[in-house]
Amino acid sequence: MIIELEPNEKIVLSLRRHWFVLSSLIFGLAPVFVLPFIVWFVLSAIINTSNPLFSGFFWLASSLLWLFLWAGLSIAWVNNYLDFWVVTNQRIISVYQKNLFKRETSELSLSRIQDSTVSVKGVLQTFINYGNLEIRTAGTLETDQQEDKVTVFIFQDIPRPYEVQNILSKIHYDFVKGVSN
C-alpha cells in the first residue's frame, strides 16, 4: 500500500509488529506438526498398522492436518506482515489487516492527540522490549451532535514502545508548537 504524503510531510517512524509475536505462534504450533508421527509411533506399538487402508487413511488425515496448519500459518504471517503504522510529522497512519481480505486504514492528525500510554505486560515482553502503545484522542461527531468522544489508536506489539512514545511526544510537541505560531 502506498501512502500519499501531504506537502512538507515527512515520515518519522515506520513500525511493524515485533518479530517475537509471529515466532511464538510458529513455535507454539510446531508440536502439532510432529503430532501425527508420535501418534503413528504409539499406534504401531499398540495395534497392527500394516493394513494399507488404515495407514492410507491415517496419512491422508495427517496430510489434511498439515495442509490446514500451513494455510493457517500463512494467513497469520500475511496478517502480521500487513499490519503497520506510519508516523509522520503531521499525522499517524494505521493499517490493520483484520483478516485475509479485510483491511482497515485509519488516520489521525497529531493535533488531536491528548494522551499516550505504553503497556508492557509480563517478563517476556519486558526483556524482549515490546508492547502496546495506546494513543487517546478526542473529537466531536458533527453528524450526531454528541459530546466529545474519546477514541483510542493502538500500536499493537511494537518493538521499543517507550522509545516510540518519546519520539511521538516530541513530534506532537513540535507540531502543536508549530501550529500555534
Q: For 125-161, give the DSSP string.
A: HHHHTEEEEEEEEEE--TTTT-S-EEEEEEEEEEESH
Sheet hosting strand 130-139, strand order edge to edge: 113-119, 130-139, 149-159
Unique residue bearing C-alpha cell 508492557: 120
Q: What confidence tier does 141 reach under pLDDT thresholds 50, 70, 90?
A: very low
pLDDT at 2 over 90: no
Q: What confidence tier does 125 reach under pLDDT thresholds 50, 70, 90?
A: very high
pLDDT tens sequence across 40-91? 999 988 888 888 899 899 999 999 999 999 999 999 999 999 999 999 999 9
Pairing of strands 84-88, 11-16: antiparallel
CB 94 within 8 A of CB 106: yes
In three-state secondary structure terms, 109 is strand
Sign of the four-CA dihedral 18, 135, 99, 121: positive
Single-letter amino acid, residue 120 = V
Unique residue bearing C-alpha cell 503504522: 85
pLDDT tens sequence across 159-175? 999 999 999 999 999 98
User: Per-residue pLDDT averaged across 124-136, rounded?
Assistant: 94
Among 174, 126, 133, smallest CA distance to 153 is for 133
Pairing of strands 113-119, 84-88: unpaired
